[in-house]
Amino acid sequence: MPMLLVVLFLLLLSSPKLLADEQQPFCSNVNTMYMPQDAYRSNLISLANALIANITEQKSHSAVSTAGMGPDKAYGAALCRGDSTGKHCAERLQQALGKAIHNTAASGNNHSQKMVTLYDDDYQAQLSFSDQDFLSSFTNAPECTLRAYLNPPPNIVDPDLFTKLAIELMQKLAADAVAQSARYSTGQGWFDPKGQTVYGLVQCTEDMPTEPCRECLAAIIEEGKKMSGLTGGAILGVRCSLWYQTDIKFFAGKPMESLHMPTPSRFWIWVTIGSFSLSVTTAWLLVHIWIKRERKREQARFELRLLSMAVQNVINLWRIEEGNSGFSLYDFSQIKEATQNFSRENKLGQGGFGAVYKGLLPGGLEVAVKRLSACSVQGLLEFKNEIQLIAKLQHKNLVKLLGCCIEGEHEKILVYEYLRNRSLDVFIFDFVKGAQLNWSKRLRIIDGIAQGILYLHNHSRLCVVHRDLKASNILLDSDMTPKISDFGMARIFCSNMIELNTTRIVGTHGYISPEYAFDGVCSIKSDVFSFGVLVLEIISGKRTTGFYPYDGKLYNLISYAWQLWRSGQGHELVCCRMGNNHQVIQRCIQVALLCVQERADDRASIDQVVTMLNSEEMTLPKPKQPAYFYVRSSGSDVSSCNSSISITLAR
């Protein structure tokens, strides 16, 4: 029944000075239950839930019980530190159980291990299970010892005397705990040579009779004598435990017992000095934090004023230079009426820098209205660059910016054409709606996205690198024609600039190219990589952040597609009926894999991609192993960053 008692437990309860002794060996426990889906495991989980429920109901810090019958019978004990009871204890136990079940499912390992102890992250709560009856014998084995020192280590005049004091305190607490119905006691003792206070805590599970509890505590106190001169330590067992720590009151509530404490006068002198020092330090810290925050706020207000002036200059230039371009300047009252005062019913979604609403202008024109956050520097940058850039871009596969609205210093609004079918992810990741997209429609969507990127990279006034191509940024009109959206942050570079180096990486997890994610190098090949991931999602109906089984292992979408294509099973990736399009689909998968190559130089350019997609006679090069080729090693999903950003490279 392995246990892990890590010094982190004391670190979390103590001052920053407390450090682990790196030389101490740790007990091993990975909070994972390796066992098959059998009756014993079912009994074990049912038993754990029953123990947790009992602790919650009884508002206790411990519980013991059994579940099942015969050879699959499970015995279990739950034990939290005595100052953690009821709901708080149950939450810690549930965390340990959930983590163990989650890790077991993720590992896929079926190695049976019927004796196991699980801990929460702070090691203040534990669940112990076995297929053997360890309850009736009140056994405390196995026990693990945790030790800690202060850094720098204090100069203890007499380590043996110090240890004697700690043991004497533990013995006094043990006598008190045995007499308590909760089988729990806390206390403090004074170590006079160094003027230090030792705090202690002992406990048994509440079901233990008086004599077994006394014997159990006596045994671990005897074991504690070996920790000579240590400033902190713990011995944790299945049935009883003890803790002690120097100068750190690590438990909740007042100490129940005291030993050799100083006279009130001396004690209160130190309390007064400490309180005064703490008050002065706290006051200085609060003033420092306030000054620092005020400086940041003033800097932010200054940046907002500069950006507001820049935005107004952009609007003035549009009035002069682009008067007949179809770009309109709307009154705030018009937008307010069109969106029914930005009502909840008209809200389409929430973007990185503001909400998006559906609006109906006079004359029946439906629009999408993006209302930017009032005090967002990034929001103002997005507003300014959308107007500067996307309003000048005209292509059937790009969402059209119809105009904007400015009201005072706070209201900044962008008005787009409204696309009834919303975004691509609504369809391809939904089993029911996905049925509306047969293979020919999906192929048309893939080609349309490619044509839009080709325009941005090669045929627009400026070379635009989007940097956040993903399914949710591809909008669909009533005919399922794809339109690239969200051109938030744009920058214009010198004519000889072919790539950008940046320390601020933006985009969405799963779509970012490796050279951009790891080295901050962004170029048109970054969009090609994102396009390749997007094509695999459209073909498969699977998310790039998911993991999928192949040959007994779990792979991310890129690796999964590579394995299937390499083994000639590419058709298994397709989520819809293929009909007679086997060769076309295999071609699309191969093109996608050519787009997600590890090295940017190995990827095709977008004009080559368009040619390969539309030329059945063209012989395609063989892709190499793609980027991000790995097998899943953790059960937790990685969250996505939803920030949208674009850059431009001047020709």
Helices (H), 322-456: 332-338, 377-389, 425-428, 431-434, 439-454
> How deeply is 335 buried, as exposed, middle or buried, from its count of CB atoms within 10 A (0-12, 13-18, 19+)?
buried
468 catalytic? Reply is yes
| Contact criterion met (CB below 8 Å) for 109 and 35 | no
d(CA 215, CA 239): 11
Coil, strand or helix at 36: coil
Query: Look-up: residue for tokens 């190499």?
Result: 624
Sign of the torsion angle spanned by Cα atoms 371, 374, 380, 384: positive
**Do the Cβ atoms of 219 and 183 come closer than 8 Å?**
no
List of E strands, 48-90:
62-67, 74-80
The partner residues of 150 in beta bridges, in order of sequence, read 18
Please tell me which residue in 247, 468, 486, 527 is annotated as part of the active site: 468
Q: Are 75 and 63 in contact (CB under 8 A)?
A: no
**Residue 627: strand, helix, or coil:** coil
Give ∠ CA 196-27-73 in degrees, rounded to 5: 120
**Distance between CA atoms of residues 443 and 360, nearest Å:** 32
Burial 79-96 (b: 16+ CB within 10 A, else e): bbbbbbbeebbbebbbbb
Paired tokens of 127: 């669940």
* Residues in a beta bridge with 423: 475
Per residue in 2-14, is it b (16+ CB within 10 Å) or e — as a string?
ebbbbbebbeebb
Q: Given the DSSP bridges, would you call strands 401-407 and 411-417 parallel, antiparallel or unpaired? A: antiparallel
384 known ligand binder: no
β-sheet bridge partners, residue 412 = 406
Q: Which residues contact 116 (CB under 8 A, 6 or more apart)?
A: 1, 2, 33, 100, 128, 129
Contact 220, 238 (CB under 8 A): no
Residues contributing to the annotated binding site: 370
Residues involved in catalysis: 468
Binding-site residue numbers for ATP are: 370
